[in-house]
């Protein structure tokens, strides 16, 4: 059946349908042109400012100077109310087109096909890059592990060679965990193992259309099962947990409900007080209608997120990084790390719709986590109930999660032991920068061990006191 026959079978007036579609399509095109004009205008203004500047040091690279000017302009404009309206106008028109098509014709299979094509484009890019850089045999994981738990797409990885106190890394759901183990020299996993820890990783996997119903509650249930599995394998009653980015959000919620299973909690570059997260992506997230997007598509497409990451600063995140690669093309370690990061960057999984909607609407917009209004399974999530040792890790120049948003966690928990560790650099630099591997991760391992030992001593003293009272009785 053709589209026209399908519409007629439902007695829908074709002229009205076509007129509405045409108007909404004009809205999409108009918004796209305005967005394009915003970026091109900033590029032009930055170039003109560079050409008109007097007194710029001859030692300063003109290209870098122009990038710095563009950075400031983009940061101001892309966070503006005007640009937020452009985005919402574009998205509203696009969703309206999708809604009309969905009413008159089954478009689900076309959505799947288009998303598969987009994903294949990113895969083709990484395959081409691998061929050009001769990195075809570079492994995805630098460290060996055993899979000790599987539930649907979710796996629990137990890394070989670890010993001592167990730590569970809860990675974000909007990326894959590989950045924590990107190469032999840049492996957070190896640094923690070398520091004397028994390391576990929660791999959320690649969610698909069949997982769109998964909610925040489902993620908490899975995390609880994983924690119990780590306790079983390690033969420890309590473990340490490290939550990175959105994984930190889930870790905080879990700790408020099940703190008795944890020795300590590490929150790493995770948004906590969303009113203080003024990054570009946070501003965009607060502007869009997540409920309507999920209603139409059922999920947030991973490749759409990739494009959003690039749009924060297209020149810096495309041209600039390839110029850096060209300058260091003979540095084999740099080249392999560059490719491994690119492969990780463009392997973004789909985010289940219900979960995505809760994170955007309840947290980014409602800030319900720190306001004490969030509920999971009918239980109120109270950050004040968290009194276990807390370590907060931030990157000083993080443009994905504002450091102030992460650091705010210390104002909302009851922990007596609160420590902050920070390094220069950005969000991903926490995993791959030299200073992170030389200073940050050895210090993190020492802190985890110290808190685990203190917890063991407290438990032993508690048992001794309890035993004494029983004997006196």
CA 310/CA 350 separation, integer angstroms: 17
Tell me the two tokens of residue 370: 């720190």
Of the listed 158, 211, 427, 431, which one is catalytic?
Answer: 427
CA 368/CA 361 separation, integer angstroms: 9
Structure letter (DSSP) for residue 425: S
Question: Among all chains, which residue has been given the structure tokens 């289940």?
Answer: 352
Nearest CA to 355 out of 347, 364, 343 is that of: 364
Question: Among all chains, which residue has been given the structure tokens 């809760």?
Answer: 358
User: Known catalytic residue: 245?
Assistant: yes
Q: Cα–chain-centroid distance for residue 198?
A: 24
Nearest CA to 455 out of 226, 262, 232 is that of: 262
3-state SS of 82-104 is HHHHHHHHHHHHHHHHHHHHHHH
Of the listed 245, 273, 306, 431, which one is catalytic?
Answer: 245
Of the listed 111, 306, 362, 398, which one is catalytic?
Answer: 398
Radius of gyration of the CA atoms of the chain, in A:
25
Tell me the two tokens of residue 2: 């053709």
Question: Please, which residues bridge with residue 393 across strands?
Answer: 268, 421
- Cβ atoms of 233 and 208 closer than 8 Å: no
CA 188/CA 171 separation, integer angstroms: 12
Nearest CA to 352 out of 206, 143, 141 is that of: 206
Burial of 192 per CB tally in 10 Å (0-12, 13-18, 19+): buried
User: Known catalytic residue: 158?
Assistant: no
- Cβ atoms of 228 and 254 closer than 8 Å: no
Active site residues: 245, 398, 427
């Amino acid at each position: 059946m053709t589209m026209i026959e399908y519409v007629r079978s439902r007695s829908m007036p074709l002229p009205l349908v076509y007129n509405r579609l045409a108007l909404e399509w004009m809205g999409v095109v108009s918004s796209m042109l305005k967005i394009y004009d915003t970026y091109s205008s900033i590029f032009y203004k930055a170039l003109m400012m560079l050409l008109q500047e007097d007194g710029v040091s001859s030692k300063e690279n003109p290209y870098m100077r122009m990038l710095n000017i563009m950075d400031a302009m983009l940061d101001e404009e892309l966070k503006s109310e005007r640009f937020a309206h452009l985005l919402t106008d574009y998205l509203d028109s696009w969703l309206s087109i999708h809604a009309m098509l969905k009413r008159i014709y089954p478009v689900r299979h076309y959505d799947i096909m288009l998303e598969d094509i987009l994903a294949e484009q990113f895969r083709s890019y990484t395959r081409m890059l691998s061929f050009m850089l001769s990195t075809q045999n570079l492994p995805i994981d630098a460290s060996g592990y055993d899979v000790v738990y599987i539930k649907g797409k979710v796996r629990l990885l137990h890394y070989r060679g670890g010993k001592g106190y167990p730590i569970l890394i809860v990675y974000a759901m909007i990326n894959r965990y590989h950045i924590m183990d990107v190469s032999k020299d840049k492996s957070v996993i190896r640094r923690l193992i070398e520091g004397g820890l028994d390391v576990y990783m929660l791999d959320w996997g690649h969610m698909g259309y069949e997982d769109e119903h998964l909610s925040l509650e489902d993620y908490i249930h899975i995390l609880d099962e994983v924690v119990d599995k780590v306790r079983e394998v390690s033969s420890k009653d309590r473990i340490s947990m490290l939550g990175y980015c959105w994984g930190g959000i889930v870790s905080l919620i879990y700790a408020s409900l099940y703190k008795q299973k944890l020795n300590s909690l590490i929150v790493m570059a995770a948004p906590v007080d969303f009113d203080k997260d003024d990054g570009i992506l946070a501003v965009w997230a607060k502007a869009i209608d997540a409920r309507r997007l999920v209603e139409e598509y059922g999920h947030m497409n991973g490749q759409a997120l990739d494009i959003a990451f690039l749009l924060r600063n297209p020149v810096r995140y495309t041209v600039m990084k390839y110029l850096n690669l060209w300058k260091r093309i003979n540095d084999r370690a740099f080249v392999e790390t560059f490719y491994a990061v690119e492969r990780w960057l463009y392997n973004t999984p789909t985010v289940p719709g219900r979960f995505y909607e809760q994170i955007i609407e309840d947290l980014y917009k409602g800030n319900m986590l720190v306001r004490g209004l969030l509920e999971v399974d009918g239980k109120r999530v109270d950050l004040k109930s968290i009194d276990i040792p807390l370590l907060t890790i931030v990157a000083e120049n993080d443009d994905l999660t504002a450091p102030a948003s992460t650091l705010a966690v210390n104002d909302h928990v009851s922990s007596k032991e609160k420590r902050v560790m920070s390094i220069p650099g950005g969000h991903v630099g926490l995993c791959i920068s030299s200073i992170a591997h030389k200073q940050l991760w050895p210090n993190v391992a020492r802190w985890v061990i110290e808190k685990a030992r203190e917890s063991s001593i407290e438990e032993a003293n508690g048992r001794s006191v309890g035993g004494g009272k029983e004997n006196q009785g």
